[in-house]
Chain A
């Protein structure tokens, strides 16, 4: 039990230290040390709890709950103050509603209920803890270097790095708390911590855009928060002893009892994981410094949303409400993949790709067969690794070339070879066989075929995957172009950043190589515990996948040996320009004797896959689906 408490409290201590310290070198040391301890802690957790299955701990309910309640009140007051100060009436209203529900709950039932088993750990929580502990803290280490450069580049932004790192580590603590809590009001408390943390981080630069986007994130997440609070009040109402406020008891109580809170909490999960129509906040969140995006997209925040939906998947499985929620995810997957085609802003492409992948996870969890849960958990793992790598790479590139536009990334392989190679691996991890995400998509196709209403999901999946291949490949193509101009500008990237980037790159490849082990030691035991049966990819397919990865790793070596053997390079000629006389850097004389430069541009298909256009379809469809899910609930209660 103490390992869990340590992982929740230790980041808080680091956070408090960082709040006090303003010296950059000391801060770097503390962050690095903290990250090391947190990573080690989560690995220790893996080693010590690996074979033990689910363990429940009787952590004292009081006075912890009183402390949490006091903190919640404090947070609510803070948000009210900020809402009034920035003239955000809707945010104020939402905070008031949510606080009213929680205060009503506390006063009516809160004093009487006494859940016993408040903390727990099971293989799924271990997976989440590893993602939070390792990737989350690596991002924090990266941020120390990044924020320094950030403030050099943006002298107009007030230096609030103490607050930044304080909130970052509180964020990690909140995520640990969220995945370790068996007590649902505690889950909710940590849930609110992550909402608040992302709100502060998104608004970091204090520009008008950042403030507005921060409030957008707050408002949409508050909507989910209200549903979550409603679920807690409902649970206390039907069982005033508070027995159902324990996650395991609730999940064991069966669909009849648990479907209403399951759908309400899944609704909260939809808001947090930025499904349509709530996707706006995650796209808006890219105004924040890049490590924040990396954090939100990979190891924290959105993963909390899908975490709770996967937890409640056994309840949702086989219900119409579950199918509606799954369809929200599927529609989001399809349309967000389409929107990603039309974007040239690298961070926006990454954002929509995240939204799409979360949609796929939600689709898997909503239908909720064992095979689909297997796929969903692997989507979380692979996405966390590859997406954090991509965000950190894009952030680094942006500081060097002064742009985050994909069209400015021509010949990145010439200007920043190592970073381009890392981005290449990250992107391959997102969509290519034999890397991670594809394993999950494959498993999802096979699982959906035999699931209820599966064909519609298969259809959505095949179209979505086709679009995924398109937008990643064209970006890949852009960065691997070998331009005849451009010089290496990689030297200015600090060692600390390289260490983090290499670590995550290694993890992307390792995750693909080791996924059979992750499957048999963590994912399958969890599935077996929940469903009483388990699932995996066929053995021979796994072997073939591993062989394919090996082949991919060997191929570049063959290229090197080829050069050595022949001892000469191939004859170089300039690219074909239709017979035009061209300078070595691809300039030619156009009409009227003007000098023109050859440039290449990607297809974006704005008219087909435009953001506004697809959101106009996706938002109403998803709102309708959510209303169907809620209407089914009303039918259940009536």
Chain B
């Protein structure tokens, strides 16, 4: 059931795909703001440059946590693309995130501290919905294994429209897009500086960036699972989804963390729960 080959392919290709997506993101964002924007490959140039920089830290242990972060983010994605258990993928995902939060705590810096606390709020906000997504897929396809869900003939999206809406909401939270970029700001909001990532620099910051690419690919992979019955449609939806995320990112201003919590927990309780209740009590006969 577990396929090592796809996992290896993921480990190699995901940074390329993720980096490319980040490049498109920046380009589109620029166009929406009436700028020309950086070249498409700018994210790769950035990472390459970061790797050249001197290793500067507040405390050495922070680098260790970030190493653990990128390793477990890669493990998460490898598990996912190997076709593993979706719940285990989610738990590994949480583990990876706890590591980046710990890295930010370790530095004993006011800015990264507040970023760490807020990242934990984000973690708490999205966790219920992402597990419900896995539960919903199980109810439809009868399996927790990505390998089964991805090739299922069931049009998962038809049974899980509410869960999909919920997942899109937490996808915005997870990609740290406005209005949910409370833990680290992409737009240079002054009060946070760079929140979570304030104290990281050089190759460690590059690791965070690459880990984020790995993460993006996994999250979009989950979007794929909703449309696994038709791979072409799935790819189109993924593209639309991401453009939508960029649009949302550029049209909303950042809200308070309370709002993030309410949104994350709210969608799980309304869209997620109601959708699952209907599925649960009107079984599909799978």
A-to-B contact residues, CB < 8 Å: 410-411, 413, 432-434, 438, 442, 445-446, 449, 454-455, 458-459, 462-463, 465-467, 469-470, 473-474, 476-478, 480-484, 538, 540-541, 544-545, 548, 551-552, 555-556, 558-559, 563, 569-578, 586, 598, 600, 602-603
- Find out whether the CB atom of A458 lies under 8 angstroms from the CB atom of B75: no
Contact partner of B277 among A455, A466, A467, A570, CB < 8 A?
A455
- Find out whether the CB atom of B120 lies under 8 angstroms from the CB atom of A459: no
Interface string of B97-126 (1 = CB under 8 A from A): 010011011111111110011001101110
Given A463-B265, A570-B55, A483 contacting B139 (CB threshold 8 A): no
Distance of A82 Cα from B101 Cα, bound (Å): 51
Distance of A77 Cα from B187 Cα, bound (Å): 72
- Find out whether the CB atom of A575 lies under 8 angstroms from the CB atom of B199: yes
Q: Is the interface of B mostly helix, strand, loop or mixed?
A: helix
Closest 10 CB pairs of A and B: A575-B109, A477-B105, A433-B91, A482-B59, A466-B127, A570-B55, A462-B128, A470-B124, A462-B131, A481-B108
- CB closest residue in chain B, given A586: B108
Distance of A570 Cα from B61 Cα, bound (Å): 11
Closest Cβ of chain B to A479, distance in Å, is 9
- Find out whether the CB atom of B105 lies under 8 angstroms from the CB atom of A478: yes
Q: Which residues of A contact B94 (CB under 8 A)?
A: 432-433, 469
Q: Which residues of A contact B135 (CB under 8 A)?
A: 445, 449, 458, 462
Distance of A346 Cα from B235 Cα, bound (Å): 49
- Find out whether the CB atom of A473 lies under 8 angstroms from the CB atom of B108: no
- Find out whether the CB atom of B108 lies under 8 angstroms from the CB atom of A551: no
Distance of A578 Cα from B193 Cα, bound (Å): 9
Given A466-B127, A555-B71, A577 contacting B110 (CB threshold 8 A): yes
Closest Cβ of chain B to A171, distance in Å, is 36
Contact partner of B91 among A411, A442, A454, A571, CB < 8 A?
A442
Chain B residues 19 to 73 lying within 8 A of chain A, measured CB to CB, are 54-64, 67-68, 71-72
B-to-A contact residues, CB < 8 Å: 1-2, 54-64, 67-68, 71-72, 75, 79, 84-85, 87-88, 91-92, 94-95, 98, 101-102, 104-113, 116-117, 120-121, 123-125, 127-128, 131-132, 135, 138-139, 144, 193, 198-199, 265, 268-269, 273, 276-277, 280
- Find out whether the CB atom of A480 lies under 8 angstroms from the CB atom of B56: no
Q: Which residues of B contact A454 (CB under 8 A)?
A: 280
Given A481-B108, A575-B109, A474 contacting B117 (CB threshold 8 A): yes
Contact partner of B88 among A433, A473, A480, A551, CB < 8 A?
A433
- CB closest residue in chain A, given B94: A469
Contact partner of B84 among A465, A483, A544, CB < 8 A?
A544
**Given A442-B87, A469-B123, 14 additional A-B pairs, CB 8 A:** A466-B123, A470-B121, A476-B98, A478-B105, A481-B113, A482-B61, A541-B88, A548-B75, A551-B71, A558-B67, A575-B108, A575-B199, A600-B108, A603-B117
- Find out whether the CB atom of B110 lies under 8 angstroms from the CB atom of A559: no
Distance of A478 Cα from B127 Cα, bound (Å): 22
Distance of A463 Cα from B128 Cα, bound (Å): 5
- Find out whether the CB atom of A480 lies under 8 angstroms from the CB atom of B110: no
Closest Cβ of chain B to A551, distance in Å, is 7
Distance of A573 Cα from B199 Cα, bound (Å): 10
Contact partner of A575 among B72, B91, B112, B127, CB < 8 A?
B112
- Find out whether the CB atom of A480 lies under 8 angstroms from the CB atom of B64: no
Closest Cβ of chain B to A378, distance in Å, is 15
- Find out whether the CB atom of A477 lies under 8 angstroms from the CB atom of B116: yes
A-B contact pairs, 17 of them (CB 8 A): A413-B61, A433-B94, A433-B95, A445-B87, A449-B138, A454-B280, A458-B276, A463-B128, A477-B101, A478-B105, A481-B105, A482-B106, A548-B75, A572-B56, A575-B111, A576-B199, A577-B110
- Find out whether the CB atom of B85 lies under 8 angstroms from the CB atom of A482: no
Distance of A410 Cα from B110 Cα, bound (Å): 13
